[in-house]
A and B are shown apart, each in its own frame.
Chain A
Amino acid sequence: MPSTRNIRRRIRSVRNTAQITRAMQMVAASKMRRAQEAAVNGRAYAEQSIILLAHAARSLEDFEHPLLEVRPTRRRAVIMITTDRGLCGGLNANLMREATRFDTDTTLFLAAGRKGAQFLARTKRRLVAEFTYSDRPTFAEALAMARTARQMFLEGEVDRVEVLYPRFVNTLTQKPEVRPLLPMKAMWEEALTGKAAEAARTEEGVHYLFEPDAKAVMAHLLQRLLIFQVLQYLQETKASEHSARMVAMKNATENAEQLIKDLTLTYNKIRQASITSEILDIAVAQMAIT
């Protein structure tokens, strides 16, 4: 049976851990609120851009743009967005599992976030570039990634670029997702499946006027969308990260508290047992004397 002193020591150590996890939970919770807001508010812009592009493309029968060119996929690039730090539940592990599905020989990886970069290096996948992004992802950070991806695509180094990121569903759920980025045609073709396709079909036959001309409007839309879509993915990742960390730390705190409770119970039992046996000893001794 462990001594009371050992148990006391363990209780103290668990209590310290609980204090740390609780602090981390608080920090994550406050960051989470802002990050979630940014992620949810940012969705409208990308969605609206994609709808606009789809409408425009439907109206322009044979519009061509280098960023739209669909080629047979011989090689692809995957931008893997992970967090920099751990302690956020299964968030990164889920992303890594998703990453292993890509064929190692024909897939080039671009990593955003340290965890992903470490994983790719460790598993000897082809990591061609590494990016960092801050807690509040900025336009410049998204631009750096978008520019590299675009260059690889335009120079024919890859035929398709996809993004692997944790989509923020709600505080408890984050879903790893793979979305096409380039060619940009894939972006709205995918977005227009299902319910949106229904709406788009009724749009057929609508022909737009373009001011000043179709090329300028499309070029502007494509250029902005590419960058802001990447920014949106970064924001989704941040929202997911802080949510996952908040939940993970909350669970850790609760576990620690349960552990303290259990240990305290054991401690008291041992204490009582030793008191009882001491009283018994005294009583026996007394009987022996009288």
Chain B
Amino acid sequence: MAARFQLEIVTPEGRVYQREVDMVVLPAADGELGIYPQHAPLMTLLGSGEIIARRGAEEDRILVTEGTAEVRADRVSVLTVFATNEAEVDEARAEEARRRAEERLKEKLSPEETALVQASLAHSLAQIKVKRRRKS
């Protein structure tokens, strides 16, 4: 039995994460899901939150907002529009993204666009929150 599995995170900007991990916590739409190797095949919607990937003593935390995850016995693939590794969060950039999103929301937008801009806003807010929490 494989003790580890592949975790990959794909966004429209490319494959942002690809690693062997021991377990992963996914922020599913209705609560967190802990995935260990040999999990039953599952497809789930993701909400806003952190993907926590454990590799031995290390762990990676990746912020995601909306998306889907496909869970298989030997791999987990996450498809999302917004994913940011917490180690790479840049508060100034997040602040800038938030400001842009808020401005866009004032314009007249189609429902789909509004949904995406709102997701983008939520994503930047999550980044800012993580940064603040780390500082304090």
Contacts and interface: CB of A to CB of B under 8 A. Distances in A.
Interface residues of B, number: 27
A140 B113 contact: yes
B79 interface: yes
Interface in A125-165: 139-140, 143, 147
Contacts of A223: 112
Contact of B12 (A59, A209, A212, A231): A231
Contact of B79 (A48, A147, A208, A211): A48
A205 to B, nearest CB: 10
B39 to A, nearest CB: 10
Contact of B43 (A48, A209, A227): A209
B112 A143 contact: yes
Contact of B45 (A45, A52, A211): A211
Contact of B70 (A55, A140, A224, A232): A55
Contacts of B113: 139-140, 143
B79 A45 contact: yes
A139 B66 CA distance: 16
A211 B116 contact: no
B53 to A, nearest CB: 18
Given A140-B113, A143-B113, A209-B43, A41 B29 contact: no
A75 B68 CA distance: 34
B43 A210 contact: yes
A211 B110 CA distance: 27
Contacts of A56: 43
A211 B44 contact: yes
Q: Which 10 pairs of residues, A with B, have the shortest CB-CB distance? A: A41-B14, A211-B44, A208-B41, A209-B42, A45-B12, A48-B10, A44-B15, A44-B10, A208-B43, A217-B43
Interface of B: 10-15, 28-30, 33, 40-45, 66, 68, 70, 72, 77, 79, 81, 110, 112-113, 116
